[in-house]
Structure 1
Amino acid sequence: MYRALIVDDDRAIRYELKKSPVFGKNKFLVTGEASDGKEALEKVRAEEYDIALVDVRMPRIDGIQFIRELRHSGNDLCVVIISGSGDYAFTRQAIRLGAFDYLLKPINPGELNELLYNARLFLEKKVEHRTLAENTSRQLAESLKLPYSVQDEADLFHLIKENSGKSVIFSEALAVRLANFYEGDTFKLSIILENSYKNLCRMLLSEMPWLGTLQFKGPELSISPSADTGSIVAAFTCSIKELSDFIGNMHISGTYPLIKLLCEYFIKNVEGRTTLEEAAKVLNYNSKYLGKVFKEVTGESIVNYITKIKMERARCLILSGKYKTYEVSEILGYKNTDYFTRLFKEHYGHTPLETKRASR
């Protein structure tokens, strides 16, 4: 069972939520409650919770400040904001700070049920990733007897996944440490770093299997054993940066759960006619709200993002050699092949046909 904390200064709402059967139905157990953000922070520090349903307006510390304090301390607790219909600005701010979702008062049992169902899926993936990362890192470290802790690779994976600039600094320090350990044996160093990098890409695909739609394998990393230590370290660090940049470019880091869910939907449904309106229906959000939040968080419009991932998929289909340009255009929902070709050239600098010829 996942442990839930309810935070609201209205005792009636806390009571109503605690008695709701949809928590148990979705494998949640309400194990704590608080009347304001200050009390909630104290409870989170003293006990472990998987999710917190938090009122946006409360005395002492409100819902927004509660999330800020959590994230500042490094706590990635799944937070759901409870807000009134007039609290749009606060709700938007909470989503930007990393809130998983929001509920409007008065709370509808059906909406609560759907939210808890989605939250359970999110938490299950989170647990799976953590277990996979720990097991994989432990096996790799034990088999190769690497001079770094089991946790190091899991930490690097987390930094990459969050598109953190620290991933480059961390990977360089890790590679230098390995280079010093192997005392100039560039053959061992190159093999180990290549294996570690491939493992990181596999971990990413295990957590986000829908990236397979784009035939994601990660940026290429090929190190010549005859290269000097500095070149090997630089190549590894550069590939880690490219991998982290890819996560940022696709907006699939875990920093903003709603944005990640939206981008996941678009990538899964990249073929055919892909629209914000359809995504909004599936995710049970207002399309205008999603468009605004996406633009504010990413700095990119939904239309540009959909075009970008369609071009990524188009390149995969073209390089497969199985399709003609007009067929790729139709698969991706473009009725006009000339328009599709123009978009592709604007994105890559060359036409689909030139891309196919260059790959031969």
Structure 2
Amino acid sequence: MKKIILYVDDDMANLQTFKRSFRFDYEVLIADSATKGLEIVKATPEIALVVTDQRMPNMKGTEFLSHTMKINPYAQRMILTAFTDLDALLKAINDGHVYDYIVKPWDYEDLKKRIDKALSIYDDKMNAIKQLMAAQTENSYLKEQILESYDFKNIIGTDGELRQVIEQIKKVSPTNATVLIRGESGTVKELIAHAIHALSKRSEEPFIKLNCAALSIGVLESELFGHEKGAFTGALAARKGRFELADKGTLFLDEIGDLLDSVQVKLLRVLQEKEFERVGGSVTKQVDVRLLAATHQPLEKLITEGKFRNRCFDKVRGEYQQNSKINGCATIYPCIPLAKI
């Protein structure tokens, strides 16, 4: 299918020459005034390229293209002119209103090459938009699936433990409380973290997760806080950590009991001050992240053994009271096997 091009010029001879020259290459629409051109743009959203003369009665080409951009921001825009209004053209290009300009008289081969390049850019832009729309549709579908999965009203049964956990999730989710999810391996700690995020005010923002037990200390710090280029051997470029990636959203740290002391210190600073520096960096980064943490280990015992900081523990845990407000933190004990859910 041929791409649609609109050419606007107050000289009918120029319009006919352009249409005749490119009639086999594109579907060419023509208009002998900016007003008529705008009407065509409104009526034909499939236009891929708008070409116009610069000096026309009532409206200059740069002004006309500025108006077309408001109607169809995706079409490429080009000016053909016998006059070099350099300042106006450069301003239009800098403002993004004009992709290219060509001084008349134009050569068919040269102009076709530049038109094809403009249309190629248009195709790339439209493909990117289609991919974005598809991703948004998929994300919307996934969100509906998640919300449907966590529509606890549809869960029936008499299991007291399950009902208690569901009530805890429903109450803590709308808050910004830090949540510590405790339970043995094989319980549904990660599922609960997903549910809390999906039912929270941050559900449209990222949900980022990290298993703290699976990484060495050097790698773990880089994964959490990011690193600058040259921070260590192999750091060929700067990289965002999980806290930056989760900004405005939720960060789920699984097996938080495996954090070494040096990492706990940095984590405590983020929880208290909401700021940190990347590994090898000196610029302070600020983030707004809701933390969900999980562990199968008895943190109280780790504290007495000097393996976990009491202050860090206080920041991530809290006593969840069924009838009280959540202020700052909460603890959920999902002692329910995954198969039972």
Query: Normalization by structure 1: what TM-score?
Result: 0.43
More helix by share: 1
Higher RCO structure, 1 or 2 (CA under 8 Å, sep 6+): 2
More strand by share: 2
Larger Rg computed on CA atoms: 2
